[in-house]
Structure 1
Amino acid sequence: MITATVPTNHALLVGRALQQEREEGRGAHFASEVRLDGEPGYFRVDPGDPPFGPLVPPQLSDKDDHDCTVEFFWSPFQVELKEREGDRAKILYLDNLSASARFWRGADVMVFNTGHWWTHHGKMRAWDYFQLREELTEEMEPAEAFNKALRPWARWVDRNVDPCRTDVFFHSISPEHKRENLQWCYNQTRPFSDNEGYLQLFPKSMVKLVERTHLKMRAPVRYLNVTKLSEFRRDAHTGVYTKRQGKFLTPEQRK
C-alpha cells in the first residue's frame, strides 16, 4: 500500500510492466481524482525508450480535474540499455541511468521498481554485454551487475530528492512460484509463516542487495517488500486459477 505524506499533484512510476499493472489497478483508487485531457492524468513513455505506445489506463480518463499527473516510464533496468551500431549487440550501461531520468525531477511521489529482468538467462535475457567505466564484459553475474546498477539510482535520489516535498518508494520483485524452485502454489492451504524466512533462492539475493542499498542512502526511501508479501500468501497465488487459451486450468494442470 502506497500512502504519501506530501500533497500529491504529480506521481512518477519507473519500472517494468508488472509495476504498470499494479499501478493501473491503483489507478482505480484515485480515478475520481484525475482525468485525461492532454495534461492531467496520463501515463507517459520516454521517447528514447522502446516504443510501447501510450500506456493510459481507462480508469484515468473522463474524470473531474483535480490537477493530478501520473507518469509511467518503462525502464526495467533503470540503467541505460542500448543497441550497438553494426552488430546490434545490446549493451547494459551499469553506471548510466535510463534516458527517462531527465524527466524524473519534480514529482511529489516517486515509485521505482527493478529486478525481475536481471534474472533472465539465455535467449530470455535482454543484454549481450555489461559496460562499466568504459570496460565491456560478458563475464559478470547478474546479481553483481544489479548491485552496481543500483548505485547510480541511489546517488540520483540522494542528490535530487527533497524529502520535505517528495516521497520515494521502491518495491521489490514478485517471487516466482514454480515446481522447479519448490514453490509451486498448488495445494498450499495456509499463509507463509514469518518464522520460516525466505524459502526460495529467487530472488533472495537481489532483495538483500536492495535492502543494503537503502541503508546506505541519505534520502529516506520507503521499501515495499512485495517479495515477502507475496510469500505470505502463496496459497492465494493466481497461478493455479488462471486461464489457458480461454479455459480454466484443470485439476491436473494445476499440479
Structure 2
Amino acid sequence: MYVGDSLSLNMWQSMACMLHSSLPQPANISYHRDAPTPNVTFLDYGVTLYLYHSTNLVDIVREKKGRVLKLESIDQDGAALWKTMDVLIFNTWHWWTHTGTSQPWDFIQVDSTHMVPDMDRLKAFEKAFTTWRNWVVDNVKPDKTKVFFQGISPSHYL
C-alpha cells in the first residue's frame, strides 16, 4: 500500500504499470480507481496494490473553528487499514510547505492543550513525523509488514 500525497499516487501508478507490463498478456487484472481506497489486483497472482491518500499522515479534523491539523493523532481513517498490509510505503512533505488558502488546515493542534494558527513548518513536521514513527513502532509487526518511507522528492524544476 502506498500512503501519502500525489508522489504516492505517481509511485502507485508506476508500480502498477511496471507489474502489468511484466506479466504475460492478456493480464487478468481488476482495477478500482474510484473506490474509497483505489486498488489494482493482479488476479492470477493474488497481489493487490492499494493507494491511500493522506497528505500529512496525521489527522486533519473538521471542527467548529475550522480544519485542525492534529500533530499527535495519526490518520485514524487509514490506520486500521494500514495494519492489514504486507508492505507500506509512506510519504509526506509537499503539503507541509503550503500556506494561505492552499494549505489543507486552518489551525495546528500542537498537543492536547495548545492550538495555534501556524508554527514553524519543520517543527510541525518533526512532531507529526514522530507521531507517525511511534504509530509504526507500536502497530506494525516487522515479521509481517515491511515499512518504507519515501522522503522529499528532489527538485526537478530549473
**Superposed pair shares fold, TM > 0.5:** yes
Output one character per residue of 1:53-99: Cα deviation in whole Å (capped at 9) or x when no partner: xx45xxx47x54211122211101000112223x5x11101111112
Please say if residues 67 and 106 of structure 2, whose CA atoms lie closer than 8 Å, have aligned partners that are also in contact.
Answer: yes
Alpha-carbon offset, residue 42 of structure 1: 5.0
CA positional deviation for 1:158 = 0.9
**Identity over aligned pairs, percent:** 29
Shift of 1:20: 0.7
More strand by share: 2
Of the candidates 68, 74, 77, which is equivalent to residue 53 of structure 2? 74
SS of aligned partner of 1:28: helix
TM-score (norm 1): 0.53
Does the residue aligned with 2:29 lie in a helix, a strand or coil? coil
Instruction: Mark the CA change 1:64 to 1:82 in structure 2 (over 3 Å): closer, same or farther.
Output: closer
Of the three residues 99, 121, 124, the one matched with 1:142 is 121
Gaps of 5+ in 2: none
For the residue of structure 2 that corresponds to 1:123, the secondary structure is helix
Query: In structure 1, what is the equivalent of residue 133 of structure 2?
Result: 154
- Report the residue type matching 1:35 in the other structure: I
Match of 1:20 in 2: 9
> Which of 67, 88, 91 is the aligned partner of 2:68?
91
Q: Corresponding residue for 1:168? A: 147
Change beyond 3 A, Cα 1:22–1:34: farther
**Is structure 2 residue 35 aligned with structure 1 residue 35?**
no
Q: Give the TM-score normalised by the residue count of structure 2.
A: 0.83
Question: How far did 1:171 drift?
Answer: 0.3
> Which of these residues, 100, 103, 108, is aligned with residue 125 of structure 1?
103
Q: Is the 8 Å Cα contact of residues 12 and 49 (structure 2) preserved in structure 1?
A: no
Residues 42 and 70 in structure 1, CA contact (< 8 A), matched pair in contact too: no
User: Which residue identity does 1:82 align to in structure 2?
Assistant: V
Whichever residue aligns with residue 72 of structure 2, its letter is: D
Whole-Å separation in 2 of the counterparts to 1:141 and 1:42: 39
What RMSD in Å do the two structures reach over aligned CA positions?
A: 2.2
Aligned length, in residue pairs: 150
